[in-house]
Each structure stands twice: as C-alpha cells, then as structure tokens.
C-alpha cells in the first residue's frame, strides 16, 4: 500500500512562503512525476513528504494515517538522492544491507533480499566493491537497490538521473519504468526534465513557484494544457506562443500552436516568414522561421525531407483544430 | 616533468633544499651519537675521554629511566585519549548552527594560542593551587578539603594541562572534517531508519577516521617532547613521579652537566620515537592512503 495525501501542506522558510497551501492525492501504485523549472519547490515538496523537512501547516497522510509528525524512518518511504548518498566506506553489499540492519532483519533474510536486488539490478558482480570503484550508472543502481530491499510503501526519487550522461540517462529511465511495472509500488519522481516526465509518468504534477499548475496524464497535459505556463513547459520543442492580432483573430489573448501542428510550404499558406536555422534529423526536420511578425521565431516540425534552406521565403499554416487559446490571465479558453 | 631533461633539471633545482634539510638533520644526530660515547662533563670539560657503552649502561641502570619511559607513554596516551574523545564531542557541538557561533569558536580555539609555560603557570597558581586555586575554592564550597594536585596527582595534573592546550587543535581538525560530511548521506541514513547513535557510529566516525589519524600522529610528535609544563609545575617530582624522558635528559644535561649521559638519553629517545612512529603508521597509517 502506498497512498499519499497532502492536505493544505504549506512550507515557509522564515518569512518566505516557498509552498503555498497545496492539496494533492497520490494513489497506490501510481508513478507520479513532479516537474517544473528549478526553484519551483518540487524538491522541497518531496522532502516534506519524506519527512526531511517539517511542514509549516497542513497534514500529510500515508495510507490514511496522519504522518505529519512522524520521523522519516517511521513513514516507510525510501528515497534515492541526486548525489546517490551511498556510504563511501561500506561495500555495495553493506550499503544495501544497511537499512535492513537498522530494522533488525535476520541475517539470512538480509542475504536473500540482497541477492534478489543485486540480480534485478545487475549488481551481482559488484557486491564487494566500494561505491568509489563504480561508475555513475552502477552507483545509481546501488542507491535504488538500497531503497528496494526496505520494501517501502513508496519510492521517492530526487532528480536521480541528472548526474548521468545522456545515453545512460535513457537507459536508466527505461530501467526505472520497468522496475515500477514489476513492483507496482507508488513512486514519486522529481525532475526538471519534461522528457523524463512525459516518458515515465502515470500522472504529472506541473509546479511553478510552489503552486500546482496542472495535474494530469502526460497526454492530457500535451493535448489540453490548462494555462500558458503548462503549454510552454510540456512538449519538445516548445509550443509556439503568440499574442496580438493573430490571437485576436481567434478571440484570445494568446494562442499556442505546437511545432508539429504547423504545415510549412514554399508556395502558399496563412503566415509568411523566412527560414532561419534548419535542423535535419532524418526522421524529422525542424525549421526556425523568422520575420513572421508574430513572434521572434516560430518552430516548425516537419516529417520527411523538405527541400528548404536558410533564407528561403516560406508560408506557414496552423492546423485549425489544434490551436490552443488562452485568455488574458493565461488560462485556457 | 615529462622528459628526461626536465626531470634532471627538476632534481637539480630541488637539490639545495633537500641537501640543507639532510645536513640539518644528520649533523646534530651524528654529534649526539659521538657525544654519547664520551665521558664529557661541563664541570670538567678538559677531561674528555672515550666511555664506550658506559653512558648507555648508566642510563639503563638508572631506576628513573624506566619510570620516565612509562610516564612518557602515560602522558602521550592520556592526552591523546582526552583530546580525541573531547575533540569529537566539542566539534559536534559547535558544528550545529547556534547563536554567537563565531565567538564560541574563537573561545574554543583560544587555549592553543597561550604559550605552554604561561598556560602551565595559570593552571598552577590560579586553578590547581591548594590554597587559592579555583578548584580549591570549589572543594571548600562543597565542604571537602582541597586537593594538592601537583603533590598528590602530579602526572594526572600535567596530563590535564597539556590536554587543555591540545584540545583546540584536535577540535579544529575534527570540525573541518565534520563539515565536509555530505548532508545527503546523513539524510539517507535517517530515512534508512538509523537512530542518532547509529549515524554517528556508521557514518560520522568512519568519515572522521582520516582526521583522527592526523590528530593522533601530529599530537604524538609534539607530546613526546613535553617539557615546559613539567619544568614550570612539578619540576619532574615528587621524586620522579612526573619525569618523562625529555625531562630526564634535561636533568642530565643541565642539572648534572653530563653531556655524554644526556646524549645517550637523547639517542634512546630518538630510537623510542621511531619505534612509536613505526607502530603508529602500522596501526592507523592505512587511513591516510
């Protein structure tokens, strides 16, 4: 079991309110990702759930039990830290055994769980090494192993992949998703990378300045962002946002069109512009179109091979059904 | 220093400093070694003759010699024990953010700036003195008779004084080590269900192992040569109860004017110091890597 409920949770550091009162329910077995720009309070929120910070107001319920005042150890949650936080003078085996040793798990049971975790995480050959002798990806797996053996109610991940290189990050992303499918345990994952959020989450929580901007499945957020911030944050490359006359035409303060919902043509279309930088990836091509009079640049994604070059005049046509409209408060119309 | 030429040049440039250091060490050592085989007394400097092993024999058969070695070891170990345990405790206390942290830290460190004879005099006349010392006042206030520290517990008194002087050094080194401890590691241990004593035992102590080693090695070097505190307070007495090897050599050289005997004692002290150094490096040196 691992249902976590936040009721009016607030965090203040002195006079500064970093998290205004916030309500959120995380269902048992869900993979929830907190995403937002740096400094949005997502790590603080995770530390509040973990019990590493005291809440200033509100309540945290774990499986219906009030855990607001419970010590971190008593909450039955396991955390994987950004720096991995392995114990440097202990072998991998002792690192993984540490939480069980503290909980007084019998030695035979400890060994059984260590073997199982090591097998699941490909660490069997490294059990007697020290963390200093492992690569970044292996250390990450040890940190996850140390969390798994506790059989926690929920896993908390604090930007676990940000110290890894790009190739390893993709691999670990798949491993963590696979782990979630196998264990079916609640996972809360904090990241600033919206690609990680989109690929891994059952439910994404978009945060800005401590406030929840939107909660929903990745595709909900992609198809119907609730406001301009979410629209600009989710999706890669970013959504094109522009105001002025073009928006007024659709009866909105701001409109947004995703790069993949704009057709580009050399001969005809709605908006005229000039091709700036173009990136050809084979499967896709990205064009950064300038001088449209709508925004500095408009990003356009086109599939296949389009024969356009720097400086060419082009015409852009948005897919009318895929235009997002926002009012003057930035909320979706 | 990649090529052979630059290596040769580097050696040439280093040579003067290394030669100077070597000469500085080897000349006094050889002279002491030479004197230790002479009958050489300053009261009668003209009558110098070859003594063979007599000086060593004389030292060895002196009942004060073994007591001095024992006192030296008790002094070193006692001070190390107090400073390491106390240093860890104080470092952990002043590592916590408290009001007036800067002032507290300066106060903690200040005993290290007091010169040894001054510190010893303060302890002798103002703290441990049986009639007007602070401890005597406390004893009278509690209704017991004051303790005459230097007469009743001479070696313990000196250990206390020296420990007081070296506690700041240990605290300082251990504090810097404590501050480099990763907070995420401590938080991870907290989430892993480790109570405070377990976090101390499994995380803090292993992390400080290297700093503790440094404290032990450096202090041992200085503590083997403790002299001023003894001279100022007990003068090695009563009898030889607080005479260490350094003080015994001083007595031979400056009270008996026996240069040969003092030199023999010096050589014995050098051998003893090296034995302790080898033992220490075997025991704790592996922490230094």
Q: Mind listing the domains of chain B with CATH numbers?
A: 59-287 (1.10.3720.10)
pLDDT of residue B104: 87
Domain with A263 in it: what CATH number? Answer: 2.40.50.140
- A98 — contact with chain B (CB < 8 Å)? yes
pLDDT of residue A203: 93
pLDDT of residue B2: 67
- A79 — contact with chain B (CB < 8 Å)? yes
Neighbour tally for A253: CB within 10 Å: 17
Percent of chain B with pLDDT over 70: 99
Chain B neighbors of A53, CB-CB under 8 A: none
Same domain, residue pair A21 and A86:
yes
Same domain, residue pair A224 and A299:
no
A257 vs B98 pLDDT, higher one = A257
3 state SS of A60: strand
* Bridge partners, A33 (sequence order): A189, A204
Same domain, residue pair A279 and A305:
yes
Token pair for residue A287?
Answer: 């064009």
Q: What is the pLDDT of residues A55-81, one digit of tens each?
A: 888 889 888 888 888 888 888 889 999
Same domain, residue pair A71 and A93:
yes
Domain with A26 in it: what CATH number? Answer: 3.40.50.300
Whether residues B191 and A52 touch (CB distance < 8 A) is answered with yes
Q: What is the pLDDT of residues A7-21, one digit of tens each?
A: 888 988 888 888 888
Whether residues B202 and A79 touch (CB distance < 8 A) is answered with no
- B289 — contact with chain A (CB < 8 Å)? no
Range of the domain at A298: 239-326
pLDDT of residue B289: 65
Mean pLDDT score, B218-228: 88
Mean pLDDT score, B112-125: 88
Q: Which of residues 140-179 of A touch B (CB under 8 A)?
A: 146, 150
Same domain, residue pair A65 and A131:
yes
pLDDT of residue A235: 86
Mean pLDDT score, B57-62: 82
* Bridge partners, A157 (sequence order): A80, A189
pLDDT of residue B17: 95
Neighbour tally for B140: CB within 10 Å: 12
Min Cα separation A260/chain B (Å): 42
What band does B14 get if pLDDT is binned at 50, 70 and 90? very high
Confidence check: pLDDT of A324 > 80: yes
Confidence check: pLDDT of A250 > 60: yes
Same domain, residue pair A275 and A207:
no
Chain B neighbors of A81, CB-CB under 8 A: 184, 187-188
For A78, the closest chain B residue by CA position comes to B191
Which of A231, A255, A271 is at the close of a domain?
A231
Of A52, A87, A146, the CB nearest to B187: A52
- B207 — contact with chain A (CB < 8 Å)? yes
pLDDT of residue A204: 93
* Bridge partners, B208 (sequence order): none
User: Over the range B169-190, which residues count as b (16 or more CB within 10 Å of their CB) and which as e?
Assistant: bbbbbbbebbeeebebbbbbbb
Confidence check: pLDDT of B11 > 70: yes
CA–CA distance, A300 with A285 (Å, rounded to integer):
8
Is residue A122 in a domain? yes
Residue from A79, A131, A157 whose CB has the most chain B CBs within 10 Å, to mutate: A79
Chain B neighbors of A142, CB-CB under 8 A: none
- B198 — contact with chain A (CB < 8 Å)? yes
Cα angle vertex B222, ends B216, B223, to 5°? Answer: 75
- B187 — contact with chain A (CB < 8 Å)? yes
Same domain, residue pair A13 and A124:
yes
Contact between B212 and B218 under an 8 Å Cβ cutoff? The reply is no
Same domain, residue pair A273 and A215:
no
Is residue A61 in a domain? yes
Is residue A42 in a domain? yes
Number of independent structural domains in chain A: 2
Min Cα separation B246/chain A (Å): 40
Confidence check: pLDDT of B27 > 90: yes
Same domain, residue pair A213 and A254:
no
Among A116-125, B122-131, B133-142, B249-258, the least confident range = B249-258
Is residue A331 in a domain? no
Residue from A47, A70, A72 whose CB has the most chain B CBs within 10 Å, to mutate: A72
Whether residues B191 and A73 touch (CB distance < 8 A) is answered with yes
Neighbour tally for A121: CB within 10 Å: 20
ipTM over 0.90: no
Q: Which of residues 22-51 of A touch B (CB under 8 A)?
A: 50-51
Of B190, B202, B203, the CB nearest to A73: B190
Of A85, A102, A150, the CB nearest to B198: A102
Is residue A58 in a domain? yes
Whether residues B184 and A73 touch (CB distance < 8 A) is answered with no
pLDDT of residue A124: 87
Confidence check: pLDDT of B1 > 60: no
Same domain, residue pair A48 and A66:
yes
CA–CA distance, B258 with B29 (Å, rounded to integer):
18
Which of A209, A231, A253 is at the close of a domain?
A231
Is residue A332 in a domain? no
Token pair for residue A244?
Answer: 């002025």
Is residue A333 in a domain? no
What band does A34 get if pLDDT is binned at 50, 70 and 90? very high
Which of A214, A231, A248 is at the close of a domain?
A231
Neighbour tally for B27: CB within 10 Å: 10
Q: How much is the mean pLDDT over chain B? A: 86
Is residue A211 in a domain? yes
Confidence check: pLDDT of B22 > 90: yes
Same domain, residue pair A246 and A213:
no
Among A38-47, A56-65, A139-148, B39-48, the least confident range = B39-48
CA–CA distance, B153 with B147 (Å, rounded to integer):
9
Q: What is the pLDDT of residues A86-95, one digit of tens each?
A: 998 899 999 9
Same domain, residue pair A101 and A161:
yes
State the Cα torsion A134-A138-A140-A143 to the nearest 10°. -80
Confidence check: pLDDT of A296 > 90: no
pLDDT of residue B23: 95
């Amino acid at each position: 079991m691992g249902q976590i409920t936040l009721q009016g949770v607030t965090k203040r550091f002195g006079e500064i309110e970093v998290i205004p009162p916030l309500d959120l329910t995380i269902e048992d077995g869900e993979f929830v990702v907190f995403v937002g720009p740096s400094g949005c309070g997502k790590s603080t929120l995770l530390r509040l759930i973990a019990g590493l910070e005291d809440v200033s107001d509100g309540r945290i319920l774990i499986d219906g039990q009030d855990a607001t005042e419970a010590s971190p150890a008593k909450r039955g949650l396991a955390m994987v830290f950004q720096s991995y936080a392995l114990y440097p003078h202990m072998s991998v085996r002792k690192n993984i055994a540490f939480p069980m040793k503290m909980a007084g798990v019998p030695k035979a049971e400890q060994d059984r769980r260590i073997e199982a975790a090591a097998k699941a995480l490909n660490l069997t050959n490294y059990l007697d090494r020290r963390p200093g002798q492992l690569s970044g990806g292996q250390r990450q797996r040890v940190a996850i192993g140390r969390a798994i053996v506790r059989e926690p109610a929920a896993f908390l991940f604090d930007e676990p992949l940000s110290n890894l290189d790009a190739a390893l990050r993709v691999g670990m992303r798949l491993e963590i998703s696979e782990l979630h499918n196998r264990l079916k345990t609640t996972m809360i994952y904090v990241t600033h990378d919206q690609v990680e959020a989109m690929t891994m989450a059952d439910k994404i929580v978009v945060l800005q300045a401590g406030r929840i901007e939107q909660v929903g499945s990745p595709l909900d957020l992609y198809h119907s962002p609730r406001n301009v911030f979410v629209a600009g944050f989710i999706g890669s490359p970013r959504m094109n946002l522009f105001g002025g006359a073009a928006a007024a035409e659709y009866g909105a303060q701001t409109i947004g069109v995703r790069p993949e919902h704009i057709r580009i043509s050399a001969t005809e279309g709605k908006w005229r512009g000039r091709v700036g930088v173009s990136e050809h990836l084979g499967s896709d091509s990205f064009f950064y179109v300038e001088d449209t009079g709508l925004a500095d640049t408009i990003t356009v994604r086109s599939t296949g091979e389009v024969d356009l070059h720097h400086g060419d005049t082009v015409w852009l046509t948005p897919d009318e059904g895929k235009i997002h409209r926002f009012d003057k408060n930035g909320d979706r119309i | 220093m990649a090529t052979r030429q630059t290596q040769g040049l580097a050696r040439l440039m280093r040579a003067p400093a290394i030669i100077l250091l070597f000469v500085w060490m080897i000349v006094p050592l050889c002279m002491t070694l030479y004197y230790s085989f002479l009958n050489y007394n300053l009261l009668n400097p003209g009558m110098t003759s070859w003594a063979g092993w007599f000086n060593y024999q004389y030292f060895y058969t002196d009942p004060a010699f073994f007591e001095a070695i024992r006192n030296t070891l008790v002094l070193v170990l006692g001070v190390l024990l107090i400073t390491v345990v106390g240093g860890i405790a104080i470092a952990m206390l002043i590592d916590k953010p408290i009001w007036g942290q800067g002032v507290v830290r300066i106060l903690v460190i200040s005993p290290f700036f007091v010169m040894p004879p001054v510190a010893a005099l303060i302890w002798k006349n103002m703290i441990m003195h049986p009639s007007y010392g602070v401890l005597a006042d406390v004893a009278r206030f509690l209704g017991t008779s004051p303790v005459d520290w230097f007469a009743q517990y001479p070696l313990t008194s000196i250990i206390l004084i020296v420990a007081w002087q070296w506690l700041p050094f240990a605290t300082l080194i251990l504090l810097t080590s404590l501050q480099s401890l990763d907070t995420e590691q401590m938080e991870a241990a907290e989430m892993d269900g480790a109570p405070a004593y377990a976090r101390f035992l499994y995380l803090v102590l292993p992390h400080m192992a290297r700093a503790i080693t440094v404290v032990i090695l450096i202090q041992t070097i200085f503590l083997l040569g403790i002299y001023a505190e003894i001279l100022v307070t007990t003068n090695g007495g009563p009898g030889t109860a607080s005479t260490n090897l350094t003080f015994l050599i001083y007595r031979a050289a400056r009270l008996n004017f026996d240069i040969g005997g003092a030199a023999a004692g010096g050589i014995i002290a050098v051998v003893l110091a090296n034995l302790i150094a080898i033992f220490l490096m075997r025991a704790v040196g592996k922490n230094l890597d």
